[in-house]
A and B are shown apart, each in its own frame.
Chain A
């Protein structure tokens, strides 16, 4: 009873706090794995599709649970099972196809044996380089008091705001001293960027986002700039 009370408290908190949901899922990962194993009848691999589905189902249970539905774990168990059944039905439609993840007798996956013209070593090196850029960006942003999590809430959604940000990016590209000022003072030189009062107001709401975009414009983020080339050039990605 005490345990159930504790779980309910955590579930209630996790419903509106993704970080708390993440902690709860880590705590109940053995339970989730065990449910998957019970369903599949095999050991659950960390990277298996079933485990990903089960984790998402567990989160779904957190979001939709209420006390009328019995104990939380029983409810989560039901949702996990139901999502795994859905996944199996979907997979059954492709049963005539061979999975690329299927392993041969030597334990190699089919996908690794198919040549697609891509250089795996190059890809790996690129991944490492991208990781290094992201790590560097994260550190620099931290000095501005900005985290990637903050950016998920301060990213502009309206086209008008996006256009304004692009205008500011274009301005900073024209005058690189704005970027220098930003890196030295660790403050957004908003007076040098904005044109009128309303624009300044809009930019204040998206200050963290604009800082990030301007930091990306500085040296050392070629891969990320490549990913965002349409935005940084003034267009929109397709």
Chain B
């Protein structure tokens, strides 16, 4: 068999044999156009083993996907903010970064009793709060003249503001039904900042017989809650901190004193 040298490189040459097959051979000082009889075929490494190795990139991508999926699930299970309320039952409602309620817990025996059997899954925090208030009334924990202490445990002033507004409807509803005193506390870090006391009072003309009736003319006005600036995180930055005293001492007294029989 004769081989025609077609292309020459340092290590190898390309030759055409008389059968018409193009082959790579070791270059033994060949020149293009030479016809040779004895050649040495180029040695090639065994092809890379396939099998598991070929799917390594796929496994890596899958592992990264699983990692992020697991990480996302983990992050969703972390409590970022909480709302606590204390009547006699004390209950804590926890939400995650997506604002989903991920847990409620009774902080005392009555709290545990109040939430027993309650399904919070898929509900917003204001709905959970509202429904637990209703349960508290039904179970006799919340009645006329009581104080509801609400505490927001969050470092996010915007979240506090939003949730404060979200539970307003419930607070108005409570005010309509019962004469209750509501205090709202904002916890920033380790430092507790007392927000202005919000007192939602009922019309003193209501008596037990009128309970449940709504009379627009006599519906008491809810004293508007002071707004919390979204960028306020420290005591000194809260506008309402000083305003609260003004609110309580002057505005409140002036506007509502006629409704009180103190």
Which residue numbers of A lie inside 8 Å of B, CB to CB? 15-16, 18, 21-22, 25-26, 29, 46-47, 49, 52, 55-56, 59-60, 63, 127-128, 130-131, 134-135, 138, 148-149, 151-152, 155-157, 162, 165, 209, 213, 224, 227-228, 230-231, 236-238
The smallest C-beta distance from A179 to any residue of chain B, in angstroms, reads 17
Q: Are A22 and B10 in contact (CB under 8 A)?
A: yes
Question: Whose C-beta in chain A lies nearest to the C-beta of B26?
Answer: A56
B11–A227 CB distance below 8 A: no
Verify B43–A63 contact, CB threshold 8 A: yes
Instruction: Assess whether A16 is in contact with B45, with CB atoms less than 8 Å apart.
Output: yes
What CA separation (Å) do A55 and B40 show in the bound complex?
A: 13
- Known contacts being A47-B29, A63-B45, A127-B31, is A55 close to B19, with CB within 8 Å? no
CA distance A16 to B27 in the complex (A): 18
- Considering the chains assembled together, what is the distance between the CA atoms of A25 and B9 in angstroms? 10
Q: Give Cα A165–Cα B22 distance, bound, in whole angstroms.
A: 14
Q: What separation, in Å, do the CA atoms of A224 and B11 have in the docked complex? A: 24
Instruction: Tell which of A15, A138, A152, A231 touches B20, judged by Cβ atoms closer than 8 Å.
Output: A231
B11 touches A22 (CB 8 A): yes
Q: Are A127 and B33 in contact (CB under 8 A)?
A: yes
Chain B residues within an 8 Å CB radius of A162: 19-20
CA distance A135 to B33 in the complex (A): 9
B205 at the interface (CB under 8 A from A): no
Are B43 and A59 interface neighbours, CB within 8 A? yes
In the assembled complex, 27 residue pairs joining A and B whose CB atoms fall closer than 8 Å, in A order, are A18-B11, A22-B9, A22-B12, A25-B10, A49-B28, A52-B27, A55-B10, A56-B26, A59-B11, A59-B26, A63-B43, A63-B44, A128-B33, A131-B32, A134-B32, A138-B6, A148-B6, A148-B7, A149-B14, A152-B22, A155-B21, A155-B23, A228-B20, A231-B20, A236-B19, A237-B17, A238-B1
A232 nearest in chain B by CB position: B20
Does B54 interact with chain A (Cβ within 8 Å)?
no
| Interface size range of chain B in the complex | 35 or more
Q: Verify if B198 is at the interface (C-beta below 8 Å from A).
A: no
Q: Which chain B residues border A151 with CB–CB below 8 Å?
A: 14, 22
**Contact check: which of A49, A55, A60, A152 meets B23 at CB < 8 Å?**
A152
A-B pairs with CB below 8 Å: how many? 103
B:32-83 near A, CB below 8 Å: 32-35, 40, 42-45, 47-48
Q: Is the interface of B mostly helix, strand, loop or mixed?
A: loop
- In-complex Cβ contact of A213 among B9, B20, B31, B34 (8 A): B20
B21 cross-chain contacts in A, Cβ below 8 A:
155-157
B31 and A237 contacting across the interface, CB-CB below 8 Å: no
Q: Which residues from B are CB-within-8-Å of A138?
A: 6-7
> Are A227 and B18 in contact (CB-based, < 8 A)?
yes
Question: In the assembly, what is the distance between CA of A151 and CA of B14, in Å?
Answer: 9
Contact of A18 with B34 at beta-carbon distance under 8 Å, contacts A224-B4, A237-B19, A238-B1 already known: no
The distance from the CB of B35 to the nearest CB of chain A, in whole angstroms, is 7
Task: Choose from B19, B23, B33 the contact partner of A131 (Cβ within 8 Å).
Answer: B33
A237: which B residues are within 8 A, CB to CB?
1, 17-19
What is the bound-complex CA distance between A81 and B43, given in angstroms? Answer: 19
* Contact A55–B14 (Cβ < 8 Å): no
Is the beta-carbon distance between B24 and A152 smaller than 8 angstroms?
Answer: yes
B14 touches A152 (CB 8 A): yes
User: Closest residue to B17 on the A side, CB-wise?
Assistant: A237
With A52-B29, A131-B32, A148-B14 as given contacts, are A15 and B22 in contact (CB-CB < 8 Å)? no
Q: How many angstroms from the CA of A59 to the CA of B10 in the assembled complex? A: 11
Shortest CB-to-CB span from B201 to chain A, Å, is 80
**Cβ contact of B22, chosen from A47, A148, A230, cutoff 8 A:** A148
- Additional A-B contact list (15), CB under 8 Å, known A47-B29, A56-B11: A18-B44, A49-B28, A55-B26, A127-B31, A128-B33, A130-B4, A149-B14, A152-B23, A155-B21, A155-B23, A156-B21, A165-B20, A227-B4, A238-B1, A238-B18
